[in-house]
Amino acid sequence: MPYLDHASISPITPEVAAAIASAPSEDPTRLHAGARRARQALDAARATCAASIGGRAEEVTFTSGGTEAVVLAVTSAVSAARAARRPLRIVASAIEQRSLLETAASFPDVELISLGVDAHGLVDPAALEAAIGDGAALVAIQVANLEIGTVQPLAELTARRGAWLLADASAAAGWIPLDVSTLGVDLLTVSGSRAGGPAGTGFVWTRSGVRLRPMLRGDDRERGVRAGMPNLPGLVGLAAGLRARIDALPDAEPRMRALTEHLRAQLPTVLDEVIVHGHPQRRVPHIVSFSIPLVEGDALLLGLDARGFAVHSGSACTSSTAEPSHVLAAIGTLTHGAIRVSIGPETTAADLDAFVAALPEVVDAAKARLGRR
């Protein structure tokens, strides 16, 4: 069964599974020999994760996943702005993940400004500067979008009037080269399950001078930022997965990009009506998103699943595909009948050719059920 949903979660590789199985089980805060081995493993995982984005180990705080990483970053920015008496304003692109948008909207005293994007999902640097006004606590612009794959011009977003710049790298880490020193960001979040590691892992990178405020209290683990026992096997697995992804990128990225470019070109040749989303050049190499008029995304997903293809339908940020995609709405396109194909390092041209060959029959069956054939 071709697995074409890597943007949701990538299957654990044997290499990562072996790293998880070999991880120490002791508490890394203790002093006995087993605990010291655990501490060494935790430190090594932190250093590997930091190196994967061009950072330093002391700049990485581990979390339970991308969602917690984003929430921790947003709440820390608001706390810092209150303490510094900076404007309590968050400017976020309209296509950010719901975890970020809903957290930003949860503060009754914080103004949330939704920054529009163009038809490809790109943020306009001039529009961002106008939205910031006299200042902001936080500017949130993702590295790339999980649903349509568009990569943002982060290095061009320089006029921020003291606001922290948060970049969600859930769709980018492990898929394209990342270097925080050239991105110009203050915080960057990573979801382990989308970057080659296991679910339940992630981290926040923070620029020197940016301090996170703890949400979970009770001990001094993670330098007092996040209390609770670390998921050491998971974090060791995350480091192994990220390291493997980064080492393979020089060969894997151009190969995957060629596959998805071919898929984007093939879709209009087999379907009379199809809308392919995302920027044709500025995009991650593994995501192709498209919509088909007059059908529901769930019908397409189930029809493809019955033929052996695991893909995703609807918004990448919601658990219910019945809810229209806020990402597709923001770029001004069809919000239903959407499919996201996301390939992985093991995906072959034959997998995608078989997917394209099966698609017209699935679309016809979905339309027939609605009487629209």
Long-range residue pairs from 299-305, CB within 8 A, at least 24 positions apart, any chain: 299/365, 299/366, 299/369, 299/370, 300/337, 300/339, 300/362, 300/363, 300/366, 301/339, 303/362, 303/365, 303/366, 304/339, 304/355, 304/358, 304/359, 304/362
The closest of 154, 145, 196, 168 to 11, measured between CA atoms, is 196
b or e along 93-118 (b: 16 or more beta carbons within 10 Å of the residue's beta carbon)?
bbbbbbbbbebbeebeebebbbbebe
| Cβ-contact 151, 282 below 8 angstroms | yes
160/36 Cα distance (integer angstroms): 43
The burial of 155, by beta-carbon neighbours within 10 Å (0-12 exposed, 13-18 middle, 19 or more buried), is given as exposed
Tokens standing for residue 347:
């995906």
Measured in degrees and rounded to the nearest 5, phi and psi for residue 73 equal -65, -45
The closest of 341, 229, 223 to 289, measured between CA atoms, is 341
| Cβ-contact 4, 313 below 8 angstroms | no
222/230 Cα distance (integer angstroms): 9
The burial of 170, by beta-carbon neighbours within 10 Å (0-12 exposed, 13-18 middle, 19 or more buried), is given as buried
Active site residue 49: no
Tokens standing for residue 282:
């500025």
From the candidates 101, 210, 317, 352, which is the catalytic residue? 317
Residues assigned a catalytic role: 317
